[in-house]
Amino acid sequence: MKRANRILGLIVAAALAGRTEALRAADPAAAAEAQKAAEASAQSWLGLVDAGKYGESWDAAAAAFRTAVSRDQWIQALDQVRRPYGTVLSRKLRGAQYATELPNAPKGEYVVIQYDTAFENKAGAVETITPSKDSDGHWRVAGYFIR
């Protein structure tokens, strides 16, 4: 279990501990557009995880994510950490913040998204999902953490 939690933590580093020492985009409309696209990407990705399609969630993740952890490590980590929580009963957006800089992450475009989530076997969880804009211009999940 500790190894699985460490793997999840490595993927997102300090950014997913709720620290969003972020620079706002110079153009608020561009930041809002990025946030909307990142949230859509996160929802789609969470759908894979919720369905137990852990391998497919790795396939759909950002390049940096796939470099940080192997597909097999990711599947094993989610199987140990996420599966015991059971089915998602509810998920409510807590907040989202666009950033161009995050602690321990390269400069780029990120949106740190938090959800208040109730699972079948864990009420009161907070999921943090961090999509980033990949080099091809698509938003993909670069980090995921549950507390």
Does the pTM exceed 0.85?
no
Per the structure block, which two tokens stand in for 143? 């980090």
Q: Which of 10-14, 54-58, 112-116 has the lowest mean pLDDT?
A: 10-14
Whole-number Å distance between alpha carbons of 103 and 12 = 10
> What are 130's two structure tokens?
């961090």
- Are residues 15 and 102 in contact, defined by beta-carbon separation less than 8 angstroms? yes
Cβ neighbour number for residue 98 with a 10 Å cutoff: 21
- Look at 85 and 28; give whichever has higher pLDDT: 85
Would you give the DSSP letter of residue 73? Answer: H
Computed over every residue of the chain, the mean pLDDT equals 85
pLDDT at position 139 over 90: yes
Tokens at residue 36, please?
């909307």
pLDDT at 36 over 90: yes
Domains in the chain with CATH codes: 2-146 (3.10.450.100)
Average pLDDT over residues 101-128: 94
Question: What is the DSSP secondary structure assignment for residue 25, as one 8-state letter?
Answer: P
